Structure 1
C-alpha cells in the first residue's frame, strides 16, 4: 500500500477553492493498485455549476478589456508554473490514471508548450481591412469572444487536452468553466493551481468536478454558457451537441476513432511494425488517435506480422511509476472490463488471438487493471474489433491484396480521425493523401501524433467538423464582427 498523502480536492470557483455544495466526495483510485486512494474528489451539482457560471460571467468583460498581450502574460506565467511542477503533476497523473511516468511528464511539458504558443497568439492579428464601395468609408473585421466557454475534458490526457481548450479560449478573451473527468480530478486540481498561482483574475477560470450526467450535461444546457468544447465518447458528445444546438450555443466535439495503419508492399517493415506498436499500444491504447487496425498487403503480411509479434512480446507491462514499464494499466475498472469484453468478442466472432489479451501472471500486478497487449489476425470488416472503438491495447491485423483494397478497408468505418501509410512510393503516398477519409493523414509516421501548432479534428463521426489547436482555434472561440465606419 502506498503511504503517500491523499489529496482532498475542491472545486475552484471565483478565484477560491470551494467544497461541493453536496458535501460529498468520491475516491480517485490508482489503477495500478486499486486499493490505493490517490484523492477524494467532489460530487458537484447544478448549484456548484451555477456559481461557477455566474463567476465567469462577472469576470469575462474585464478580462476581454485587457489587450491580447496582457492576457498572454498570464498564460506565460501559467506555463512556467506548469513546467516547474512537471515532476509532481506527472507523478500524480501516473498514480491517478496509469500512464507511464515518462509519458505523463512529457504530457505536462506539452501543456506548458501549448500555453506559451497561445500566449504568443495575443500579439497576432484578429481581423482584416476590406475595401468598401464607398470611397469615404473604412470597412474591416475584428473578432470578439463568445463569452463564457464550457470545457468538458476526458481522463486520457488530463493536462494536454484541457490546456489546449482553455488556452485559446482565454487568449481570445473568454472566461472558462472547466469540467474535468472525475477519474483524473486530482491531476486537474494541480493544473488549476497553476492558473491560480499565475494570478488570473477571479472568475476568469473555474473548475467544477462532477459526473458527466449532471455537470457535463448542465454545461451543455446552461443558458449562461455561450460555447462548449468537448472531447470524449461519441454517445456523450452527441448529447452535448444536441443540447447546445437546442439553445443556439456554439459547440465543438472531438470524439472517437478507429484509426488504421496501412502497410504497403514497398514499406520499411521495421519502421511500420514499430509505428503499429507505438501508435497502437503506447498509453495502453487509450488515445483517440491510437492505431486500432493494421491493414497489410498480402505480399508482406507474414514478414510484417513476425516483426510486430517480436516487438509486442518484449513490451514490459507494469506500474507506470516503474522506469522499466512500457505499458501501464487500463485507467479504471470500466475501461478494463470494456477491453476484456472486446477481446472476448474478437475470439467469439472468429478472429485468431495471436498473443496477449489476458491478465499478466506477475503476482505483483494482481491488484491493478492490467491486460497484456493483444494482437488478432483473421479479422474481417464486420467484426466488432474491426468496427468499434476499443480504447485499449488491442491491434487487429487485416490482410488485403493491394493498396487500393487497403485504402477501401481503411475508409470502411464510421470514424475518420487519423490514418497512416507506410510506403517508399510517392505515388502511393499521394493516392493515400487524396483518398483517405480522415482529418489527420500521416505518411511514414504513426497515427498517434498531434502537433500543437497544427489544426486537429476528424471527419465523419469523429468530430463536429470543427478543428482544435493551432491558428484554427480562433474560428471556434471567437465570432467575426464586420465594422463599417464613415465620417
Structure 2
C-alpha cells in the first residue's frame, strides 16, 4: 500500500518513532488507501523550529514571487485533478462529483491568493500635516499553526494555507487523520512549485500530540482551527494563554425557513440538497427546516420524496450520497435518530442503515427526515453532522425567525420566499454569519468572508476573500516627515 510521510523543512520524513496509522476507505474499510506517520510532540516541534527559521527569509521574498509559487502549485494540482478527486472520495467518502468540485475549489483558491499577493503591502493616506507621508505597512504575523477537519480535506487546508503563505507567514499544518492524503498532495505540489524548505510543514497524527503542541508552542504566533465546537473551544483557550491570535470556525445548526409564497417542491429541493449533500457532513448543512403551517404537510411529503430518491452507495460508483467517514460518525448519527424518536418526533423516512449488498461493508445511513419537531428537542438544538433534517412547524414569519435563532449556533441560514419584504427582513433578523435567500445553506464563494456567530465561531477574524488575508497580517502606521 502507498506510504506517505510528513513534510518537514522541505523533506519527506517519517515520525521519530516510526509508528504509522492506516487510512481506510469508508465505503469499504478493508481498502487501505495509505499509511501515514503517527507523529509525536517532538516531530511537531521540529516542524515548528523549521518554520520559525524559514520565516524571515520567506517574509523578505517579494509578495509577487510568493504569489507565483501559489499559481504554479495551482497549475500542478489542476494537472492531477481527476486523481485527487478519486483519492478524496476514497479517503473521505463523498460522491465523486462532490469531490471533483472540492478539488476545483482548492485550485481556484491557490490561483486567487496567488493573484492577491500582488496587491499586498499597505496603503497611502493623506496626512493633516505638510511635508509628511502617512502610510500603512502590512506585515505577516510570523509562524502559524493550522488545524483542519476531515470533511473538506483539501478545500479547508488550502483556504487557510494559501492566504498565510501569500502574506509571508510560514505554516505548520495538521490535517485530520481520517483524510490527510489530499493535504499531503497539496504540499507536494507546493514543493514542486518552488516553495523554500521550512515554509510549509505538514505533520500527521493525533490532536493530543500534534494539535496540542501547536497550541502551546511559544514559537507559534497564531492558530486557525476548523472543527467541532467542543474541540475548538479547548484549542482557543489553550492558544490564548500566551497571546496567540486565534481563529475558530466550529459547529452549526443551520435553518432554512420555508414561507408559503414559495413553490413547495422548489423549497423541498433546496432543503434536500442542503441537508443530504456530502452526506450531511458539513458545518453549513441544513439541519432544520422551519416551515409555515400553511404548507407544512405538503412540504414534508415533498421532502420525503426527495430523500427517498437519493441513491446511496460507494462514492466512485456514481451514487448520489456516499457513506459516513467512520464508524464513530455513523454511530453518532444513529444515536441522534434514536434520540429524536424517544423525544416524540415523527420519523418520516430513513433512520436506518441501508441493506443492499453494496452497503454491507461501508458506513452508510439513509437520508432521514423528522417531522413534528419542537425547538426544545435535542435534534433541533445539537449538531448531528449527518444526513438528518428536523422539520418544525410555525405559524408566522416572526415565529419562524424566533425559532431559527433559538440555538447556540449561528453559522449559515436561509429563507425561501417570493416575498421581497420577508427576504430583506430575514437578512436583518437572522443571527448567522452566512445568510442566503432562495438558496441552500451550503456552498460558499471563495472571494467573500466566511464565518459564524455565537458558538459557531470565535468571531475574531473571517476566512476567505480579503478577510482571509487580514487574519494572517498585522500593520504598522508610518509617519514620515521629510
TM-score bracket, normalised by the shorter chain, equals over 0.9
Equivalence for 1:61: 56
What is the TM-score of this pair, normalised by structure 2?
A: 0.98
Equivalence for 1:36: 31
- TM-superposed CA distance for 1:68, in Å, is 1.4
- 2:416 is aligned with 1:433: no
Equivalence for 1:83: 78
Equivalence for 1:442: 436
8 Å CA contact 1:9–1:185 kept in 2: the answer is no
How far does the alpha carbon of each residue in 1:168-209 deviate from its partner, in whole angstroms, 9 at most, with x for none?
000011011000001112222222211111111111111000
- Following the alignment from structure 2 to structure 1, what is the Cα–Cα distance between the partners of residues 3 and 189? 17
- TM-superposed CA distance for 1:87, in Å, is 1.3
8 Å CA contact 1:7–1:186 kept in 2: the answer is no
Equivalence for 2:357: 363
1:9 to 1, 4, 17: 4
- Following the alignment from structure 1 to structure 2, what is the Cα–Cα distance between the partners of residues 197 and 418? 37
- Following the alignment from structure 2 to structure 1, what is the Cα–Cα distance between the partners of residues 36 and 13? 12
Equivalence for 1:300: 295
Equivalence for 2:231: 236
Equivalence for 2:382: 388
- TM-superposed CA distance for 1:9, in Å, is 1.5
Equivalence for 2:448: 454
- TM-superposed CA distance for 1:46, in Å, is 1.0
**1:369-380 paired onto structure 2 within 5 Å:** 369-380=363-374
- Following the alignment from structure 2 to structure 1, what is the Cα–Cα distance between the partners of residues 205 and 101? 27
- 2:310 is aligned with 1:315: yes
- Following the alignment from structure 1 to structure 2, what is the Cα–Cα distance between the partners of residues 126 and 301? 54
Equivalence for 2:149: 154
8 Å CA contact 1:293–1:397 kept in 2: the answer is yes
8 Å CA contact 2:45–2:213 kept in 1: the answer is no
Structure 1, 49-58 or 408-417: larger mean CA deviation: 49-58
Q: SS of 1:182's equivalent?
A: coil
Equivalence for 1:352: 346
How far does the alpha carbon of each residue in 1:116-150 deviate from its partner, in whole angstroms, 9 at most, with x for none?
01011111153222333432221211110000011
8 Å CA contact 2:120–2:138 kept in 1: the answer is no
- Following the alignment from structure 1 to structure 2, what is the Cα–Cα distance between the partners of residues 216 and 177? 10
- Following the alignment from structure 1 to structure 2, what is the Cα–Cα distance between the partners of residues 172 and 95? 33
Equivalence for 2:188: 193
Equivalence for 1:134: 129
- Following the alignment from structure 2 to structure 1, what is the Cα–Cα distance between the partners of residues 276 and 448? 24
- Following the alignment from structure 2 to structure 1, what is the Cα–Cα distance between the partners of residues 189 and 389? 38
8 Å CA contact 1:141–1:481 kept in 2: the answer is yes
- TM-superposed CA distance for 1:270, in Å, is 2.0
- TM-superposed CA distance for 1:54, in Å, is 1.0
Q: SS of 2:118's equivalent?
A: coil
Tell me the number of residue pairs that the alignment of Structure 1 and Structure 2 aligns. Answer: 481
- Following the alignment from structure 1 to structure 2, what is the Cα–Cα distance between the partners of residues 449 and 268? 22
- 2:224 is aligned with 1:224: no
- Following the alignment from structure 1 to structure 2, what is the Cα–Cα distance between the partners of residues 375 and 245? 40
2:392 to 381, 398, 419: 398
8 Å CA contact 1:30–1:96 kept in 2: the answer is yes
Q: Structure 2: which 5+ runs fail to align?
A: none
Structure 1, 176-185 or 190-199: larger mean CA deviation: 190-199
Equivalence for 1:52: 47
1:410 to 389, 395, 404: 404
Q: Structure 1: which 5+ runs fail to align?
A: 1-5
- Following the alignment from structure 1 to structure 2, what is the Cα–Cα distance between the partners of residues 34 and 484? 62
8 Å CA contact 2:63–2:120 kept in 1: the answer is no
- Following the alignment from structure 2 to structure 1, what is the Cα–Cα distance between the partners of residues 419 and 443? 22
Q: SS of 2:317's equivalent?
A: coil
- Following the alignment from structure 2 to structure 1, what is the Cα–Cα distance between the partners of residues 120 and 41? 38
